[in-house]
Amino acid sequence: MQFKLKKIKSDASFREFFRLYKGKKTSIIITAKKERFKNLIVYTSINKFLIKRGIFTPKLISSHFKEGIIEIEDLGKDKLLDHIRVSKNKFFYYKKCVDLILKLQKITPPKKIKIESKKYLNFSKYNISELHKESDLFFDWYLYGVLGKKKSKKFKFKIKRELNKIYKKIVFKNNFLVHRDFHVSNIMYINKKLGLIDTQDAIAGNPAYDLASLIDDVRLKVPNKIKLDTFNYYVKKSNNKNYKTISLKNDFDILSVQRNLKILGIFFRLYLRDNKKEYLKYLPYVWTLLEKRMKNNIFNNLEKILSKAVSKKLRKKRFFK
């Protein structure tokens, strides 16, 4: 039997991916230079937990954790992103994604995840402190990078204080299983079935979080009608009497803003620290999404402060030629 190893385009993490050809069969090799525990051990443990509960995600084939290598099931080359881009009926796929979110949300988040025969890992839960920790990436990388130390420090206090008021307005409890990076690039399409990857950051959180991640995907521009139809489809299919649409929509808007502030920070960090310039192309659209969600009145003060901090011209700026 002939073996062949072919590198696959990496993502924003410290991992590298390879497709291993074993005759007619294939598998995926993942190596992690840093954060091995999260990227390998936690990842495979959460996958195992999800597989037992009916979620289609890669099975572990072999592990070499000390060497920073694992071999997992190959879910193929068809990303849902590619199907949506060429489809005339994009909403068809978004409904499938919502169905998958609802399937995840029927799973009770564990208090602990089994990582070895006698070892367990506490399963994290979102709280205001965690939301701040993530949105702080906006100050520490994006705002610092575009305004400099002195000016960014001045606005950081004002923005963070306003964010704290906004985060306290979140209604729904953090008792739902959240993938945390649920967008179409992290979903494979195999024989009309959705396969979920990149599960290592799963957490217990708000029911609107994955929905916001899906609808306000910075990598894929879709018409506003599809965004609205997808949100309404979630409300209808959830069939939860506790879902007052206005409360869910407020939570959705807050978490979309929080997530996209975090993304600005992460993508600018990838540029400054890791020399991954390709992520800068998404920044103007991230601001478009932020501006759209901040039309909600709960963001009136935040929008004013951000407008003073980051001008419209700066929001569209390209940081390299």
CATH number at residue 21: 3.30.200
Residue 240 has pLDDT above 70, yes or no: no
Same domain, 62 and 102: no
The model's pTM is 0.93
Tens-place pLDDT, residues 60-112: 999 999 899 999 999 998 999 999 999 999 999 999 999 999 999 999 999 99
Same domain, 114 and 253: yes
Last residue of a domain, one of 73, 92, 122: 73
In the numeric block, the tokens 């965004």 are attached to 227
DSSP string, 123-157: PPB--HHHHHHHHHHIIIIIIHHHH-HHHHHHHHH
Mean pLDDT of the chain: 92
Determine the pLDDT at residue 228.
97
Place 1 in a pLDDT band, splitting at 50, 70 and 90. Answer: low
Place 128 in a pLDDT band, splitting at 50, 70 and 90. Answer: very high
Same domain, 42 and 68: yes
Q: Is 34 exposed, middle or buried (0-12, 13-18, 19+ CB in 10 A)?
A: exposed
Tens-place pLDDT, residues 243-277: 677 889 999 999 999 999 999 999 999 999 988 89
Q: Which residues, listed in sequence order, are joined to residue 112 by a DSSP beta bridge?
A: 122
In a domain, 320, yes or no: no
Q: From CA 10, how far away is CA 20, in angstroms rounded?
A: 15
φ/ψ of residue 56, rounded to 5: -85, 105
Same domain, 213 and 238: yes
Same domain, 9 and 42: yes
Last residue of a domain, one of 73, 101, 118: 73
Structure tokens at 166: 């906004």
Q: DSSP letter at 299?
A: G
Contacts of 10 (CB under 8 A, 6+ apart): 16, 17
In a domain, 90, yes or no: yes
Same domain, 11 and 140: no
**How many other C-beta atoms lie within 10 A of the C-beta of residue 112?**
10
CATH number of domain containing 304? 3.90.1200.10
Domains: count for the chain: 2
Same domain, 64 and 93: no
Same domain, 202 and 111: yes
Residue 12 has pLDDT above 70, yes or no: no
Residue 306 has pLDDT above 80, yes or no: yes
Q: From CA 143, how far away is CA 310, in angstroms rounded?
A: 8
Which of 17, 20, 19 lies closest to 40 in space, CA to CA? 17
Last residue of a domain, one of 24, 50, 73: 73
Specify whether the CB–CB gap between 234 and 93 falls below 8 A: no
The H or E element that residue 71 is part of is strand 69-73
Q: From CA 299, how far away is CA 188, in angstroms rounded?
A: 35
Same domain, 20 and 98: no
Distance of CA 204 to CAs 43, 124, 154, 187, Å?
16, 6, 33, 20
Place 119 in a pLDDT band, splitting at 50, 70 and 90. Answer: confident
Tens-place pLDDT, residues 132-173: 999 999 999 999 999 999 999 999 999 999 999 999 999 999
Same domain, 97 and 160: yes
Looking at 8-17, 27-36, 100-109, which range is the least confident one?
A: 8-17
Determine the pLDDT at residue 321.
46
Which range of residues forms the domain containing residue 152? Answer: 80-315
Same domain, 123 and 221: yes
